Structure 1
Amino acid sequence: MKDNQELSVLNAYGGRRKMSYNNNNERIFELYNLISKSKLLSDEYAVVFVYNEENLIDDEEHSSECITSVEKDMIINSFRKSALYVYATNGEDVFIEMLSEIKEKHKYIFIYSMAQNITGVGRRSFIPLLCNYYKLNNIGSDFFASTLGGDKELMYKLISSHVSNNIPFTIYVSKSTNLKKLIERLTPGIYILKPNDESASIGIMKIKISTSNIDYILKQLSVYQKKYSRFCIQEYIDGPEIEIPLLFYEQEYYCPGCVEIINSSPSGYLDYDTVKMDEYSFREYTGSLSTELINCSKKVACALRFETICRIDFRIRNNIPYIIDIGANPTISYHSSTNYIFRKRFNSEAAVYQLLLFIGLYNAELLKPPFNKPE
């Protein structure tokens, strides 16, 4: 792959644009050097963090997507390293109630959202949509990426022509799919069931299909189909799991490194309980496939037009990386592969949050003297 390789993709309005996937390390470190020397943003600026706490979520299953009080404090303190005014709102409704007051106090408002109030494909799209409507500066995933990121089937179809060799065998199931005929198409082996529009390992289940257990598997799938009307059946890739975070800046993607997931769960994958209890850890992956993993991830991000931060997850089998998940709005709190590798590169748990904020300032054309000069 050439260093300056670009990919032409359709933008949200039907036009075409060029996006490069150079590894712009130097510019990112220049930006972080600027961040470390900059004074706090004045009272013209405010950061609003929108989140969900577990105690306000009616659906217990989705509690794995909520943040703890420790995580909330860490995120607030991270933004406060750069901004004097940081607001935290527990849920979308509270954000709406506070918005008018915040707009009266501050000229420039930057939004970082992890919130959701519904289930389904568009469950994380409401805050990005409000940002578009009220012309607020969204430093997280935009409406396009947030919506697309909730539809596994659509994402895999959009990237298939770019990374066809890196997609595991997958069958997509809807509520009208004839499960008996579907099972007849599957060869014996181990598969992973995944809801089409969930994250944080919600609903993920491993099954083993053999000629002797077809009836049992059919019953399992029937129950699963009633709960998740759209899901996929994907071949289980038995091998190391590597996650690749990407940060978009100046029309290019920066990758801080590859992260291997250390998981001792008997299930052999990041199941719901393992994720909910944070019973896994990380180490940097520097193996022979590092460059291939990063380049493949950048192709995916380009094809899906992710323009803030994202994460592409792989499993490696027989020296081939297979894409097992795509995160358009990944968790970046302390116990995450993204924060782990940014922490390692910049020696600060706040680095990824500060970078998102300053990239937001840059995109809003607010990153200019005398603002960025220390006192």
Structure 2
Amino acid sequence: MDDSVPAGSEVIRRYLRELQNISSDLRVAVVANTKSGTEKGVDYAAHSIDTEFFSEGEIEEILYAIRSLGIYADLYLDEDKFIMDVITGRFKSKAKKFNLVYTTAQNGVGPGRKSLIPAFCNLHRISVTGSNPYVVSLCRHKYHYNKILAALGLSVAGSWLYSETSGWAGASPPREGMKVIVKPTYESASIGITETSIVEYSRDLDSQIKSLSSLFQQPVTVQQFIEGFEVEVPVFCHRNYLSFFPVGIQLDGNPLLGEKILTYDRVYNDSYEFYKYEGPAAETVISTAVDAAKILGITAIGRIDFRITEGGDSYITDVSTNPHLTTFSSCSFLFSQLSLRHADLLGTWLALSASSAGILGL
């Protein structure tokens, strides 16, 4: 860790020092899916779920970062193998004084899949990184968390829910002529998102929205589209919630996205860049992101995403309880701007999770 850490990140250094005190007694079991090492379960015909899977290089980055902290780490490439090892006792045979399961696994389709390992670990009293199973599932339902945050006064992009079986939820669809973006409700990493996802709503579009609901076998969230900038705000969630600065998304070197978005193809191929957003809405989105993380009960590290108009009005568009912690991620970019290493990001994730599990007294 670099000793010349800028002012404001001293708390991160403290987390890392506390983690070092137990590093030799800590085992981290990483449960993850990789593009080449995991046999996919049910998948979508249009956009594969493996956009959420690690590449071989990314999983090696994660393991190297954890091990460079002096922590023992082993790897499970699918949920079934991990579950069987726990049931048969093989997992326990490798246990150390302190044990954490770091899971990003989400094989298959539909709601709740990212909560499987956290829920299973709770059943077997195994400490797991990140948020609890309920919060993980809640924050995978774009419409539900949007309405919770809106009801508590946070600025969110207006959202409506459409189901193939029951049509529009609530009183009415969006108003005619409103520019909206149409998204599968349970997905992340831009699954189901293309340039044609942004449309001006009319009743004539209901058949297309119904087709998308059928294609991805889930309700569709239709969200007010905000032209302008897009930022991601990592939030470090513990007793004192902490956020440093918004990380902007730029496409082809341009931070002002206008009508452009992160499509499935761009996300799959990492065809975008990060920058430090210092526009007029910076302080507002930091404060709003912290409020959102508190309201939703996110633990360890979360990420709240916004679209910001050229005039500085900001709106929450997405939430993540388990943001990517690879070297190519907004969280890693933030740490690099604080003169901290990628390994320090993983260490912070583990320290905050260990504290929530009662292993560390942060």
Task: Provide the TM-score with structure 1 as the length reference.
Answer: 0.82
**2:59 corresponds to 1:68:** no
- How is 1:151-230 mapped onto 2 (pairs within 5 angstroms)? 151-164=141-154, 166-178=155-167, 185-205=174-194, 206-209=197-200, 215=204, 217-228=205-216, 229-230=218-219
Q: Distance in 1 between matches of 2:14 and 2:225?
A: 41
**2:42 corresponds to 1:52:** no
Amino acid in the other structure paired with 2:314: P
3-state SS of the aligned residue for 1:72? helix
Equivalent residues of 1:28, 1:254 under 8 A apart: no
Q: 1:246 — aligned with what? A: 235
Amino acid in the other structure paired with 1:172: L
Select 2:262's aligned residue among 245, 266, 270. Answer: 270
Distance 1:64 1:225, change over 3 A: same
Distance 1:34 1:238, change over 3 A: same
Amino acid in the other structure paired with 1:257: F
Equivalent residues of 1:40, 1:82 under 8 A apart: no
Amino acid in the other structure paired with 2:338: R
**2:103 corresponds to 1:113:** yes
Distance 1:150 1:285, change over 3 A: same
C-alpha deviations, 1:202-251, integer Å up to 9, x for none? Answer: 0124242377xx64x344223213224301111211101011011113x1
Q: 2:3 — aligned with what? A: none
C-alpha deviations, 1:311-339, integer Å up to 9, x for none? Answer: 00001113110111111221121111111
Equivalent residues of 2:184, 2:213 under 8 A apart: no
Q: 1:295 — aligned with what? A: 287
Amino acid in the other structure paired with 1:268: K
Amino acid in the other structure paired with 1:254: L
Distance 1:110 1:346, change over 3 A: farther
Q: Distance in 1 between matches of 2:151 and 2:70?
A: 42
Equivalent residues of 1:149, 1:328 under 8 A apart: yes
More strand by share: 1
Q: Distance in 2 between matches of 1:195 and 1:363?
A: 32
Q: How many residues align?
A: 337
Query: Pairwise CA RMSD of aligned residues?
Result: 2.6
Select 1:322's aligned residue among 315, 328, 348. Answer: 315
Aligned sequence identity (%): 27
Which segments of 5 or more consecutive residues in structure 1 lack a partner in the other structure?
Answer: 1-23
C-alpha deviations, 1:265-304, integer Å up to 9, x for none? Answer: 9971000000000000101112222111111011111111
Q: 1:336 — aligned with what? A: 329
Select 1:29's aligned residue among 13, 16, 31. Answer: 13
Once the 2 structures are TM-superposed, how far is the Cα of residue 78 of structure 1 from its aligned partner? 0.8
Q: 2:352 — aligned with what? A: 359
Q: 1:78 — aligned with what? A: 65
Distance 1:329 1:163, change over 3 A: farther
Once the 2 structures are TM-superposed, how far is the Cα of residue 26 of structure 1 from its aligned partner? 4.0
Equivalent residues of 2:160, 2:223 under 8 A apart: yes
C-alpha deviations, 1:126-164, integer Å up to 9, x for none? Answer: 110122112212122321221112211111121112334
